[in-house]
Amino acid sequence: MAHARMSTLSASPHRLRRAEFELVPAVHTPFDAQGSLALDAVAPQAAFLAAHGIQTVFVAGTTGEGLSLRESERAELAAAWVEAAAAHDQRVWVHVGSNNVAAAAALAEQAQAVGAHGVAALPPHFIKPGRVEDLVAVCAEIAAGAPELPFFYYDIPALSGVQLATPAWMEQAMACIPNLGGVKYTNPDLAGLQECLRLAGEDRIVYYGNDESLLAALALGAHGAVGSTYNFAAPIAIQVVQASVAGEIERARLWQFRIVQLVRAIQSHGYLAINKSILGMLGLSAFQDAPVRLPLRSPSSAACSQLQQELEQLGFFAWLAEATA
């Protein structure tokens, strides 16, 4: 199946050489009915994504409930993904952010030890960095935990509450974080996105994180996108990318609006907890009942069935069939 080709590492282990625009799912973490990690579900998850053209995954982020996992579980999950992804030549980026900076650096070290390909970190979000230079210092300490891997700052101010200017952070970070890979930019400020892209140069990558405005990010020159819908709607997003690259703007808008419709339908049920159930609808049995951890609440079977009916009526499953034909 056609897909957006991954970005690749150059000879220097933390310098990134960009190829084509890349879609990266922020993967869900599988739990059993008791809320324990269900690591045996990771291999089928990796195979499913590979079959849909996915070459890189983002583990233990917001969608993956990374901050609801114990540190030992985060290390186990990273190792499971590295092992499963190797069978499909996929790359694994591990989110290691924590309110405890030393713990985040230790998680980065563990990710490097098990063979991950990159690390990313949210900023501390309880006692927050108050100045750009403080945020740079935080990221530098975390990045130093995995000096052979590219480090990405995970900018999502709506959830982290850290409202510092990302371009200013990037400019300072480029001077003092030798393994800086770039930014996961989940931020509605498109002017800031353009500034980050200008700063990135040839060696760093700016991933965009709002699925509903993927087409806008493409138009501005984003290098890739990380998002939750790429777990179950990657073929639809690939249509957006391919149409945009081909200059077929009306087709790109059509497929982009389908992503908007999909997100709105899921949001009507709470989004973060229930979107995991869509993987179950597509055949991954471990996600059938979409178990999540507090403070999220697992959706009822009735809610999952209702969402499935609504997605059928919307045309989501037909869109997938069309996108993969």
Residue 184 falls in the annotated catalytic set:
yes
Q: Which of 128, 153, 184, 271 is catalytic?
A: 184
Q: Which residues pair with 94 in a beta bridge?
A: 59, 119
Nearest in space to 96 (alpha carbons), one of 114, 110, 79: 110
Q: Cis (ω within 30 of 0) for the bond into 295?
A: yes
Annotate 195-207 with b (16+ C-beta within 10 A) or e (fewer).
bbbebbeebbbbb
Q: Which secondary-structure segment (H or E) carries 119?
A: strand 118-121
DSSP, collapsed to helix, strand or coil, labels residue 126 as coil
- Do β-strands 8-9 and 16-17 pair in parallel, antiparallel, or remain unpaired? antiparallel
Selected catalytic residue, list 154, 207, 208, 230:
154
Cα dihedral across residues 199, 205, 207, 213: positive or negative: positive
Report the run of H or E that residue 77 belongs to, with start and end: helix 71-86
List Cβ neighbours of 203 (8 Å cut-off, separation of 6 or more). 10, 15, 16, 17
Residues annotated catalytic, as ranges? 154, 184
